[in-house]
Amino acid sequence: MHMTASSASYRLKNLEYAVGSQLFVRTPKGMTLTQAGEVLARHARNLLRDVEIMHTELGAYSANLRGTIRLLANSSALNSFIIPSLARFLVSNENINVDLKEQESPTISQAIAEGQADIGVGAGLEAHPGLHRELYAVDRLVAVMAPDHPLVRHDEISFKDLLAHELVSVERNSSNYLYLNHQARLAGIPMRVRVHVHNFNALLYMVETGVGASVVPASTAEDAIRQGRVAAVRLSDPWAARELYLVYAEDPGQPELVREFARILLNDPQVTAVRESR
């Protein structure tokens, strides 16, 4: 179990505390189960057996899925949902490969319709002839800044308010930057970006140290916000609340793998929980 005796003993005591009953009789010669312990052991064996059966059945199902999926996604969907989802799935499914690329949301549906990829996920994707479209997740863009930033005292700000301050952004060719730069042009105020970084983790570190503020999907900043490393302020702009849609071609000749993999992405437990809660 790769566990010291003291660590194991501590966990067993916590188990007894959680159950609310003594599970073991401890003697100099070892430990035996109490009646409550016997009941718990019986249920635990049943649960483990059921889990093993579940893995066997699901393993047989996923073993039939073979091939390569070409997947396009905007940066919000990519970093908040798809990469964690794919990691959880691919680690136990060796027969599927994924060609994953980031792309701006406005161009994703057309790219799927033209056969450039099999599945696309992006913000606000509109219905498109010949494409199946389904709500994938809901995410909100928020302003993030150092805890001592002057805008922290506000419960809500507009993007225009944020544009008056120096900013940190991901790379210039990222869909996140292109989208925000477009919104800044519509507002008639240029973005004052001090530094472009390669991913959201680097961006949040820059924000935390006070280099500048930024706008990111709320889901990508949850840990940093919870740990108090950065503060988040709600954006009042309607475009900050974004629905992410999944699309693929409605083609009778479409490989079954594409439809099944779309179902896998849509039914990932963490994605489903976010979709239902928001």
For residue 237, name the pLDDT band (cuts at 50, 70, 90). very high
**What is residue 249's three-state secondary structure?**
strand
Rounded to the nearest 5°, which phi and psi values hold at 230?
Answer: -135, 160
Confirm whether 67-138+243-277 and 140-241 share one CATH topology.
yes
Query: Where exactly are the structural domains of the chain?
Result: 5-51, 67-138+243-277, 140-241
The position carrying tokens 């073993």 is 63
Class of domain 140-241: alpha beta
Provide the sign of the torsion angle of the four alpha carbons 68, 172, 149, 154, taken in this order: negative
264-277: per-residue pLDDT in tens? Answer: 899 888 888 777 76
Q: What pLDDT, on a 0 to 100 scale, did the predictor assign at position 55?
A: 66
Residue 254: both structure tokens together: 């479409």
What whole-number distance in Å separates Cα of residue 215 and Cα of residue 223?
A: 15
What whole-number distance in Å separates Cα of residue 130 and Cα of residue 109?
A: 10
91-124: per-residue pLDDT in tens? Answer: 877 788 999 999 988 899 999 999 999 999 998 8
Mean pLDDT of the chain: 89
What whole-number distance in Å separates Cα of residue 122 and Cα of residue 78?
A: 9
33-48: per-residue pLDDT in tens? Answer: 999 999 999 999 999 8
Q: What pLDDT, on a 0 to 100 scale, did the predictor assign at position 65?
A: 67
Q: Return the CATH fold of 67-138+243-277.
A: D-Maltodextrin-Binding Protein; domain 2 (3.40.190)
165-174: per-residue pLDDT in tens? Answer: 999 999 998 8
Q: What pLDDT, on a 0 to 100 scale, did the predictor assign at position 88?
A: 82
Residue 170: both structure tokens together: 């991901």
What whole-number distance in Å separates Cα of residue 150 and Cα of residue 132?
A: 45
Q: What pLDDT, on a 0 to 100 scale, did the predictor assign at position 63?
A: 54
Model confidence at 64: pLDDT above 70:
no
Q: What pLDDT, on a 0 to 100 scale, did the predictor assign at position 33?
A: 94
What whole-number distance in Å separates Cα of residue 191 and Cα of residue 172?
A: 12
Residue 212: both structure tokens together: 């500048």
